[in-house]
Structure 1
Amino acid sequence: MTIMDIFDFDMLRATPVSNDPFAHIVLPRFIKPSALAEVVGALPAMRARGSFPIGALSLKPAAKEMVAGLEGATFRSIIAEKFGLELDGAPVMSTLRGNSGEKDGQIHTDSVAKRVTILLYLNPGNGEAWAQQKGCLRLLRNNTDLENYAVEVPPVDGTLLVFPNGPTTFHGHKQFVGQRYVLQMNYMTTSTKAKAEMRRHHVSAFIKRLTRAA
C-alpha cells in the first residue's frame, strides 16, 4: 500500500478553509474508504492513556505509510498553500493517542510552540458514544462554554482536522472514556520552547521503548 492509496489529496486540495470560529479545514474520509480497514488494522494495541511518540510504537506497514504521508512534502505543501503559511523547514512532531480518560477534552488552546495542529481520527463511525456527541471535538467561540461551538468533529473514519494555532483557537469535547484513536501531528516553531518540547518528545520515546522492552 502506497501513500497515494491511503490519502485523498485531491479532495484535500478541493476543500475550502472555513473561518468560523477560526481558520480550519475538516475533511471526512481523508483516508480513502478502500484503505481505512488496513490502516486501522495496522495500529498498535494501546491500553494506556496519553499521547505516545510515534518512535515509541510498533506500527505495521500500512500505519507507517500513513504517518509518512502526513509527514511528507505533498501534505505540507497543500497545508502551507491553504493557510498562506511558510512551512518549509518547520519541524514535525507526531504522536498517537489510543484512549481517552475522564480528564481529557477540557477546553484549551494548543502550545504556542505548535504552529499548526493536524488531527487524523481513526475510529469506527458506528460508535454509540459518537452519536451521543461524546469525544467529538468542538471548535469553540470562547474558552468557557463547551456548548458554544461552531463545528463538531466526530473522531471517525479517517476524518482530518487542521488548524493554525492562535490565542483564540479554543477546542474541547464532551467527556468520553474508552478507546479513541487519533494521530496528532504538529508543525512546530523553531523557538526555544518548541525545541524543548521536541526534546521531551524524543526522551519520552526512548523511555517508552525501554519500558516496552523490559
Structure 2
Amino acid sequence: MTNVIQLESLDKAPVQTVPFPYFKVEQSIYPEQVQAIIKSFPDISDGGSYNIDDVDLQEPFKSLITSIDTPEFRRIICEKFDVQVMDLPMMITLRGYSRQKDGRIHTDSKTKVATILIYLNEAWQADTGKLRILRNGHDMNDYVDEVTPGPGSLVAFKVTDNCWHGYPAFDGKRQSIQINFLTSAAAGNKHRFFHRLSAKLKRLISGRKSI
C-alpha cells in the first residue's frame, strides 16, 4: 500500500502558536484506506504504551507505520515547528485502551522535540476522551482546542515547557499512534526500555488474574 498519509493535508494545515505551536488534521489518512487500517490495528486490550517493536504488525497497518518514517514526513515537521528532525531518532508507540487514570494533564519530556498523535478509531461518540490543547497545567476546562480521536485524525505539537495537554477521563477502546522525535539515541533507548518493562508487568499481572 502506498500514499497512506495525506501529506498534502499536513503540509497545508495552519500552525497555531497559542498557547504553544501545534497543528491538526481531521483526515490524515486517505478515506478509502482508513477503515482497513483501523481494522488491522494490533489487538491491545490493556492500558499504557507499547513499543512498535513489541507488537505484531499486519497489513495494511504495517504500511502506515512504514509511511511515517519518510523524509517527506520529517520535512513537514521541520518546517512547521522550525526544528531539525531529519536526522533525529524516531520512536513510535501504540495505545489501544484508555483507563480512567489516563489523559491527565501533562507536558511531554524534554527528551522529545516534537510529538505527533494519529487516532485510529471509528466515529467517536463519547463526550470524553477528546484531546485538549490546554492553557495551563491545572484546569482541564481551560483549553483552546479539542481533537476528536476519530478515524485518522492527527495532532502534532512542538514540545515546549508549556505544552500542556490531556483529555477528560475515558474508559474503553481508544486507539492511537504516538510518534516522537527524540533528542538522542540514548533517550530513545531509555523510553523503549520503560515501555517494554511496563508491557511485561501488565502481561504478568493479567496472567495471574486468569489463574
TM-score normalized by the length of structure 1: 0.88
Q: Is the 8 A contact 1:137 1:152 kept in 2?
A: yes
CA distance in structure 2 between the partners assigned to 1:206 and 1:123 by the alignment: 22
1:139 aligns with 2:133: yes
Please name the residue that 1:187 is paired with: 181
Counterpart residue identity of residue 95, structure 2: R
Please name the residue that 1:32 is paired with: 30
Match of 1:23 among 11, 18, 21: 21
CA distance in structure 2 between the partners assigned to 1:172 and 1:207 by the alignment: 25
Match of 1:155 among 126, 139, 149: 149
Aligned residues: 204
Match of 2:168 among 165, 168, 174: 174
Partner of 1:61: helix, strand, or coil? coil
Where does 1:61-210 land on structure 2 (aligned, <5 Å)?
Answer: 61-125=59-123, 127-129=124-126, 132=127, 134-190=128-184, 193-201=187-195, 203-204=196-197
CA distance in structure 1 between the partners assigned to 2:156 and 2:125 by the alignment: 25
CA distance in structure 2 between the partners assigned to 1:145 and 1:96 by the alignment: 27
CA distance in structure 1 between the partners assigned to 2:105 and 2:52 by the alignment: 25
**Alpha-carbon distance, 1:101 to partner:** 0.2
**Alpha-carbon distance, 1:116 to partner:** 0.5
1:44 aligns with 2:38: no
Tell me how large the CA RMSD over aligned residues is.
Answer: 2.1
Q: Is the 8 A contact 2:38 2:151 kept in 1?
A: no
CA distance in structure 2 between the partners assigned to 1:76 and 1:143 by the alignment: 29
CA distance in structure 2 between the partners assigned to 1:191 and 1:199 by the alignment: 12
Partner of 1:90: helix, strand, or coil? coil
**Alpha-carbon distance, 1:196 to partner:** 2.5
Partner of 1:110: helix, strand, or coil? coil
**Alpha-carbon distance, 1:193 to partner:** 4.6
Listed as ranges, the gaps of 5+ residues in structure 2 are: none
CA distance in structure 2 between the partners assigned to 1:206 and 1:148 by the alignment: 33
Q: Is the 8 A contact 2:115 2:180 kept in 1?
A: yes
Counterpart residue identity of residue 150, structure 2: V
Listed as ranges, the gaps of 5+ residues in structure 1 are: none
**Alpha-carbon distance, 1:59 to partner:** 1.4
Q: Is the 8 A contact 2:50 2:199 kept in 1?
A: no
TM-score normalized by the length of structure 2: 0.89
% identical aligned pairs: 33
CA distance in structure 1 between the partners assigned to 2:185 and 2:27 by the alignment: 34
Partner of 1:109: helix, strand, or coil? coil
**Alpha-carbon distance, 1:109 to partner:** 0.3
Q: Is the 8 A contact 2:91 2:188 kept in 1?
A: no
| Distance change >3 Å, CA 207–CA 106, structure 1 → 2 | closer
